Chain A
């Protein structure tokens, strides 16, 4: 049985008209409109069953409503892939293709794909969420861009692994994975060395990415009034590890009440971190979580108060995504408790 595809296009490629119809809301049509015909002809063992059309301005100004309507259209349909565009360098169209592809992928878990030009603002917005083929800047590149989408879409339909970004022609999604290649590391090393010596061009296998920076938070105005919370990635937990935090590649965190404690006692708390020798921290957990000196400084009035809970997880092998998720789970609790500042101790 052949598989089924649904295509998303804007008002222009949906043959409703130009800029004057950019405000029309979403509609779904059985059969093939605009690029859907070429997709239908080129997709392998797959029929395009429907074309969805939405005006770029409508999607741009009412994205939630437009997405809800389209997901509603799709709710009772069977389809194996969802394709949007190509959007070339049309900014609103590109953002629309990205928006709807991401929503469809999140809701239905089917493969989605689109195409746009590198200058299209939709590319940077969505390249980490969906596969966006590198496309031309103007609609005259339709044949080429559509063929590129089809090539990868056919792999998705066949259940094959989609290869690396540079080889398949899509924008990198921010993921790096290992792949097996013909040449061994010695050969590659020697070639890179010779190129450096000769002053010739070479391509490093690791290009250092631009680092994500956050604005520096304003300092606490009055330390003597501040409520300070203590956090750690050093895996300090009650000895029975009640939250079953993993000792490496952690996905869990814990919140532990220290009311009335002057220090963290050995035998009551320990570290479950697998990345270092735990002896010192098990003998005296305060070497990672300095509750003892914080209590002393709290009494001396150096700062306002120590927050009633400390938060703990394990930092080793933990992905940035997991770390950021855990932080986002902890954050509202800190905010609800009016925490003014944090100390994070890492091992």
Chain B
């Protein structure tokens, strides 16, 4: 499989007459872009904004992030979701780098939505605080979930994906500044030298625990709640096969942008063939009932064993009861003689004194920890809020609250906030961007 991603580095985004990219400046015709967004008649209200690192802007409730791209063969970016099915992982893509499309609810948030600060002490808490962002702030007529704590956010998320595809068109005919090439040889066709290396698999556990459909991560448009672990190529993931869902406290989530750019997968591919032979990705999921968890773990271990893996990455998009899937997979792989390095966040409580994962096993030998979901974070007011800050306290956000005897409300009258790490948009970055670790105090 060979995937080429041509990079166009965005230094500045501006509104103008014509969608274009020139000398690092991405120009968007706002009216045209909004007209495209409003083609979905569920969208009742929409506006576009541009934010860059250093702006005194807070975004809340953020629902999704997508990197604008275009495929040179003219096919859609997210097969099975916003376009017909195609095989991901092959071909040539052009991507606008340092840049994302963010989708923000005009009024309403929920359990799964997050917050982004573009400057100040909150900036470092999300990856997107460091990017140039096109922000779609919109509302919909999805009355059935307006006051629900768990929202599908379907219209808004789809709007974001379509907007990213729309914007990506402007670099289709241009020559990229540089190109990343991700090429792999089928497992049984690799050289004797490579086959002699220790073999490695990456086990990814995307979020899929909502039994009702429409909330979970999608693989080629398929709801991963109704799914069993499958072998995939890392290129497929980088090329839109996975789409982020709308369930789980936000800091533990992987946005679609995260899937498109998955840093640990890219690092594993970069060094493939040196000290290890990277066999591919066992794309798993996260389950609710114990038998479902056990079944998925069985599939993971059997696939890894059959492939002849010696080492594995295991990482989960979640915490809490998903830890049973995560720790269960690690323990079962180690038992099968496959040595694991895990990547996950922890939940040690606001006081830091709780057990880090809800299930623990002495077979966890090597783990990278990327944050504490319940860490309390206090942030000063921001000049501009895009969306509605009240959503943090009002709508059941996993990191916010209406009132608290000791801490008061999450959203204070002066616009300053106090929240748990949980509510920061994809803040724990288990995909590999996290500059956080956990330390004993």
Contact = CB atoms under 8 A, between A and B. Distances in A.
A and B touch in the complex (CB under 8 A): yes
Contacts, number: 176
A198 B276 CA distance: 10
B82 interface: no
A150 B347 CA distance: 33
Nearest to A179: B439
A178 B437 contact: yes
6 contacts: A167-B439, A184-B263, A190-B268, A193-B341, A274-B398, A321-B353
A173 B198 CA distance: 40
A189 B313 contact: yes
Contacts of B370: 185
B430 A206 contact: no
Contacts of B311: 193, 196-197
B346 interface: yes
B36 interface: no
A321 B349 contact: yes
A329 to B, nearest CB: 16
Q: Which 10 A-B pairs have the closest CB atoms?
A: A175-B352, A319-B349, A186-B432, A164-B439, A172-B440, A205-B369, A185-B434, A206-B367, A176-B348, A178-B372
B407 to A, nearest CB: 11
B275 interface: yes
Nearest to B315: A189
A184 B149 contact: no
B48 to A, nearest CB: 31
B67 interface: no
A317 B438 contact: no
Given A164-B441, A205-B369, A178 B353 contact: no
B437 A205 contact: yes
B268 to A, nearest CB: 8
A208 B372 CA distance: 16
B440 A197 contact: no
B365 interface: yes
Contact of A176 (B211, B263, B268, B356): B356
B328 to A, nearest CB: 14
B336 interface: no
Contacts of B22: none
Contacts of A248: 398
A174 interface: yes
A277 B210 contact: yes
Interface in B361-392: 361-362, 364-372, 374-375
Interface string B273-286: 00110000000000
B231 interface: no
A216 interface: no
A188 interface: yes
Interface in A154-177: 162-167, 172-177
Given A204-B365, A205-B369, A209-B360, 16 more contacts: A128-B353, A163-B441, A176-B356, A177-B439, A178-B439, A179-B438, A186-B263, A186-B264, A189-B432, A196-B341, A197-B275, A206-B356, A246-B401, A317-B374, A319-B349, A319-B354
A189 B440 contact: no
A1 interface: no
Contact of B396 (A174, A176, A180, A247): A247
A180 B360 contact: no
A319 B396 CA distance: 19
A256 interface: no
B372 A177 contact: yes
Interface in A192-210: 192-194, 196-198, 202, 204-206, 208-209
A20 interface: no
B320 interface: yes
- The prevalent SS among residues of B at the interface is loop
Contact of B435 (A163, A184, A189, A197): A184
B429 interface: yes
A244 B304 CA distance: 48
- Of residues B310, B436, B441, which shows the largest number of chain A Cβ atoms within 10 Å of its Cβ? B441
A175 B441 contact: yes
Interface in B294-350: 310-311, 313, 320-321, 339, 341, 343, 346-350
Interface string A309-341: 000000011011100000000000000000000
Contacts of B371: 178
A316 B276 CA distance: 40
A275 B149 CA distance: 11
A211 interface: yes
A196 B351 CA distance: 33
A192 B375 CA distance: 25
Contacts of A181: 435-437
Contacts of B227: none
A176 B264 CA distance: 25
A144 to B, nearest CB: 22
A30 interface: no
A185 B264 contact: yes
Contacts of B422: 317
A179 B369 CA distance: 10
A249 interface: yes
Q: Which of A193, A208, A211 has the most CB of B within 10 A?
A: A193
B15 interface: no
Nearest to B375: A178
B52 to A, nearest CB: 22
Interface string A261-296: 000000000000011110000000000000000000
B182 interface: no
A277 B368 contact: no
Contacts of A163: 441
Contact of B434 (A175, A182, A184, A249): A184
